[in-house]
Structure 1
Amino acid sequence: MIVGNLVRRRGEWTEAADTITLDETARHRRRMAMVSDGGIAFLLDLAEATLLRDGDAIQLDNDQLIAVKAKPEPLYEVRGRDTAHLIALAWQIGNRHLSAQVFADRMLIRRDPVIREMLTGLGASVADVESAFDPEGGAYGGRSDHHHH
């Protein structure tokens, strides 16, 4: 089987043999059998779990590159009244250990009706969107995700 054991980050490569389209959860992997959008079967076998980001490429042992595309998924777009309000909302999201993609004027988070109710109760504007999700990596460079106490 063809093996992919190296990730080339966005900007480090120019031409790919194919693409693979994955949501954020499926893009956080270490070892897994995968099939590209065009049907190239390969084993992803990385040294450690890695969050593959939109625009990265997986280098296969036959020197082909498979470009990673972020699959749109159901999210909430969260906006505040102003920057200070958005920062306060971001604190609430972070305090609950939720993954978030942060922009200057908004955030994207996974849909959760309880969180939506909390945010709207705090004065946020929350809209349903379908978008690629590329959350912040966390304080230690890893994946930001729910953790258990």
Structure 2
Amino acid sequence: MTDSFARDILPAGSWDTANAADRITLDYEGRHRRRYRYRADNELEFVLDLAQTTLLHDGDGLKLDDGRIVLVRAVPEALVAVTANNTDALIKLAWHIGNRHLPAQLSAERILIRDDAVIVEMLRGLGAHVEKIVAPFTPERGAYAHAHDDHQTAAHPFVFTAEHAHDH
């Protein structure tokens, strides 16, 4: 059998998911790739073959070279929702998370991070409110993502990832 290749991403909302030939359900690491061999939920096998490492989003479509489309679904993961008493406190918590180069999903109300007991204890010590949740995780893209044309919306310019970590 000849491999099917996925070289094009159809952004979530730009295509009809009812037309998907199959779907693939992945965690954050599984959705952050450049080249990888996958087996979709209903056994369709294909090779993701992109020009650079890309973060796939829930609802994206991977267009195979034969025209079929594989729907990307983000699997819920064990996360921690970090909140604070006010915006200033939340911004300071975001700084501490970013200073440790942790992947983080940011919003005006909360920060989502992966569940890590040491980090959770540090955040509590800084006055954070933490709640363990299970949800899909789509952290902000890396600081150099613009240079690499990362597939992410421009509405989220803040960056907290280990991808481009450096020593202090």
What TM-score do the two structures reach when normalised by structure 1?
0.94
1:28-60 deviation per Cα after TM superposition (whole angstroms, max 9, x unaligned):
111111011111011111111111111111100
1:113 aligns with 2:117: yes
CA RMSD in angstroms comes to 1.4
Secondary structure of 2:112's counterpart equals strand
Query: 1:140: Cα distance to partner?
Result: 2.6
Alignment of 1:44-83 (within 5 A): 44-83=48-87
User: Structure 1 residue aligned with 2:14, among 8, 12, 15?
Assistant: 12
Query: C-alpha separation between the residues in 2 aligned to 1:93 and 1:55?
Result: 28
Secondary structure of 1:116's counterpart equals helix
Query: 1:148: Cα distance to partner?
Result: 4.5
Ranges in structure 2 where 5+ consecutive residues have no aligned partner: 151-158
- Which residue pairs with 1:145 in the alignment? 161
- Which residue pairs with 1:103 in the alignment? 107
Query: 1:11: Cα distance to partner?
Result: 2.1
- Equivalent residues, number: 149
Secondary structure of 2:29's counterpart equals coil
Ranges in structure 1 where 5+ consecutive residues have no aligned partner: none
1:36 aligns with 2:40: yes
Query: 1:17: Cα distance to partner?
Result: 1.4
- Which residue pairs with 2:156 in the alignment? none
Higher helix proportion, which one?
2
Q: Is the 8 A contact 2:79 2:114 kept in 1?
A: yes
Identity of aligned residues (%): 48
Query: C-alpha separation between the residues in 1 aligned to 2:118 and 2:160?
Result: 20
Higher strand proportion, which one?
1
What TM-score do the two structures reach when normalised by structure 2?
0.84
CA 1:86–1:113: 2 relative to 1, 3 Å: same
Secondary structure of 2:15's counterpart equals coil
Secondary structure of 1:45's counterpart equals strand
User: Structure 2 residue aligned with 1:122, among 113, 126, 132?
Assistant: 126
1:102-140 deviation per Cα after TM superposition (whole angstroms, max 9, x unaligned):
111111001111110110001111111111000011333
